[in-house]
Structure 1
Amino acid sequence: MPPRREGPGPVVRTIALAARNPFAGPLAALVVLILIFTLATDTFFSAQNFSVILQQSVVIGTLALGQTLIILTSGIDLANGSILVVSTLVMAQLAQGQPPGIQILILLVGFALSAALAAVAGLLISRFLLPAFIVTLGMFTMLTAGARLYSQRPPVVPEGGVLTGLGSGGYLFGVFQVTIGVFVVIASVAVLHYMLTRTAWGRHVYAVGGNPTAARRTGINVSRVLLVVYILAGLLYALAAWQAFGRSPATSANVFANANLDTISAVVIGGTSLFGGRGTVVGSYFGTLIVLVLQSGLTQMGFDALYQQVLTGALVIAAVALDQFTRKVERLG
């Protein structure tokens, strides 16, 4: 009689469960961090602190949504922060001396500019098959230099118009302050999650990221999917630029210098695989909140900002290692 084959152990079963529920892990990590900092400090667990964290999440969180789409296709975008900066500078410059009513047209110009810049990268990657890392690194370098040349005297957006409107808001239950921008980023997460999980386009995105050769053989137009992903990411970068105006009407070529690394960290910590084909936008937003909760909690505990960066980097490495382990478990059945 052949020996009885034992089933997978509890650790392997837990990994398999996490793989089937890709944002369960980031959500659990977020809850654990909140519990730790609540017990470790007297000031962390408060409506004001959670409100600040949510408001801080709107710009990087929105950028992370676009980064997620690109990483899902097994690409990467190092130029997202630069596209945001260029878009804010151009819109702020156009808004100088203009009545508030014209700001809607200026906003449309910003969205068109961001989409066009992202489309250039998408064309080079999808049509000419250039590596995404090299293309977006080149775009990052050019746009960063161009932004600094363009903004010798950084303009300030006039307040009270559409461009700064996402920064307005009110209070929930009389104590929890939220802005329109918070609702916008949450709505964006919900819409993108539906698109990725309930539409043919979403299935194509995952298929291209998982195995572009197999996707091509099944009739998927891989080049078109990639181009659409980059254009949609560009629109999300423009939305992040709009969110940035809501946070601060003052513009500068030096802000969001590390946005590319911040968004990659948020996406990876949120459970999206750097190798493509696996992940969710919900997890990426949780990843953004994890980074912000970690920074807020450690600051209130008195830790230096450098230690915060060390721990964030360690989380990124751990997330990539977990992804590799998960893939190995799935291959073993």
Structure 2
Amino acid sequence: MATTTADFETRRHDSFGLRVQHLLHGNPVLGPLAVLVVAIIAFSIVNVRFFSAANLSLVLLQVTVIATLALGQTLIILTAGIDLSAGAIAVFSSILMALFCTDAGMPAPIALLLGFACGTAMGALNGLLVTRIKLPPFIVTLGTLTIFFSLNAVVSNSETVRGADMPGLMTWTGQSIPIGDFRLSYGSIIMLLLFGFFAYALSSTAWGKHVYATGDDVEAARLAGIRTGRVLFSVYTTAGLLYAIAGWILIGRLASASPNVGTEYNLDSITAVVLGGTSLFGGRGGVIGTLIGALIVGVFRNGLQLAGVEVVWQGFAIGLLVLIAVSIDQWIRKVKT
């Protein structure tokens, strides 16, 4: 039977779709990068102030805390887990650091290290409950989310610790370096260095390969000799440390330690990871995509604000982006290898 023109066009369309599917499967960062570039161009056309150095500095400053949280979240989602307590650990750690300085009178470096240790311990608790008690990550972190926020309120008496009452080291992350009209905060520099380190760790170390293998198929990884329990525990513990560092950056960002912030940080960190192309089913994605995802969130919120869009519709746009990203991820996962 002769091939008709319609059949030829259908096959050509299917072939193009398969090529795109394979390309995105092998390079998860390409999709988010294209969205970010298009968004920047579009918002620059809508409002010429968007592409100014001052505004771009603001966008980077605004996404620094969320990006750092999303870095830890990425490690967990790569293992097919989830962490709903990310923001709670960050805020509680920031309060503990501040109180160690002000109430306990500790030197700033000691207070900072103890705060990092507390955040790491909170992440380790999540890891123990997931690996030893075998509880689902969603249930574990939903429970610790409530626990940490409650302890945060008790310890702080729901009172903010002013930056002026803390040593300069605690608010140092909020200071910035001028690069022409662009200002780069020390917190943003720390965040970028962390992304660089974990990009290397995931791509070039045995630990990184074990993280991907565990997320792709935990049983197959176990049969291959990988100690999946240790991998999962290390991921949650490392994420706790990253959340504590985000708490330090948050103190610099706000010039204070407030127990009344961070309720939206958990979902924002997951949003950045999903928009960055990391699969919620584990085993595919990376931290560079997460950084791009965090920037997408920042760019959209800032651009829509400059365009005069109401806050409620800004949230609508971000939510729509998440649904599209998850749908694309489902489509990409169907690729035949």
Name 1:207's counterpart in structure 2: 213
Deviation at 1:25, TM superposition (A): 1.2
Name 2:110's counterpart in structure 1: 105
Name 2:294's counterpart in structure 1: 288
- Quick check: 1:66 aligned with 2:72? yes
Q: Which SS does the other structure have where 1:114 is aligned? A: helix
CA contact (8 A) 1:86 1:147 kept: yes
CA–CA separation in structure 2 for the residues paired with 1:144 and 1:181: 24
Q: Deviations over 1:119-144 (max 9, x none)?
A: 01101101221100000000001111
CA–CA separation in structure 1 for the residues paired with 2:117 and 2:63: 24
- Quick check: 1:223 aligned with 2:257? no
Query: Of the candidates 308, 311, 330, which is equivalent to residue 305 of structure 1?
Result: 311
- Quick check: 1:275 aligned with 2:281? yes
Name 2:328's counterpart in structure 1: 322
CA contact (8 A) 1:215 1:222 kept: yes
CA contact (8 A) 1:159 1:249 kept: no
Deviation at 1:98, TM superposition (A): 7.3
CA contact (8 A) 2:101 2:167 kept: no
CA contact (8 A) 2:126 2:236 kept: yes
Alignment of 1:30-45 (within 5 A): 30-45=36-51
- Quick check: 1:149 aligned with 2:154? yes
- Quick check: 1:191 aligned with 2:197? yes
Name 2:178's counterpart in structure 1: 171
CA–CA separation in structure 2 for the residues paired with 1:309 and 1:248: 22
CA–CA separation in structure 2 for the residues paired with 1:17 and 1:216: 29
Q: Which SS does the other structure have where 2:51 is aligned? A: coil
- Quick check: 1:252 aligned with 2:241? no
Structure 2, unmatched stretches of 5+, are none
CA–CA separation in structure 2 for the residues paired with 1:91 and 1:156: 12
Q: Which SS does the other structure have where 1:178 is aligned? A: strand
Q: Which SS does the other structure have where 1:34 is aligned? A: helix
Name 1:140's counterpart in structure 2: 145
CA contact (8 A) 1:73 1:210 kept: yes
Distance of aligned partners of 1:253 and 1:97 in 2 relative to their CA distance in 1, 3 Å threshold: closer
CA contact (8 A) 1:166 1:242 kept: yes
Aligned residues: CA RMSD: 2.0
Q: Which SS does the other structure have where 2:168 is aligned? A: coil
Please tell me the residue identity of whatever aligns with 1:37: F
Q: Which SS does the other structure have where 1:164 is aligned? A: helix
CA–CA separation in structure 1 for the residues paired with 2:108 and 2:166: 11
Q: Deviations over 1:22-73 (max 9, x none)?
A: 1111111101000000111121110000000111121110000000000000
Distance of aligned partners of 1:254 and 1:98 in 2 relative to their CA distance in 1, 3 Å threshold: closer
Deviation at 1:197, TM superposition (A): 0.6
Name 1:261's counterpart in structure 2: 267
Aligned pairs, number: 329
CA–CA separation in structure 1 for the residues paired with 2:167 and 2:96: 19
CA contact (8 A) 2:174 2:255 kept: no
Name 1:118's counterpart in structure 2: 123
Q: Which SS does the other structure have where 1:78 is aligned? A: coil
Structure 1, unmatched stretches of 5+, are none
Name 2:169's counterpart in structure 1: 162
Distance of aligned partners of 1:86 and 1:97 in 2 relative to their CA distance in 1, 3 Å threshold: closer
The two structures have a TM-score, normalised by structure 2, of 0.93
CA contact (8 A) 1:271 1:323 kept: yes
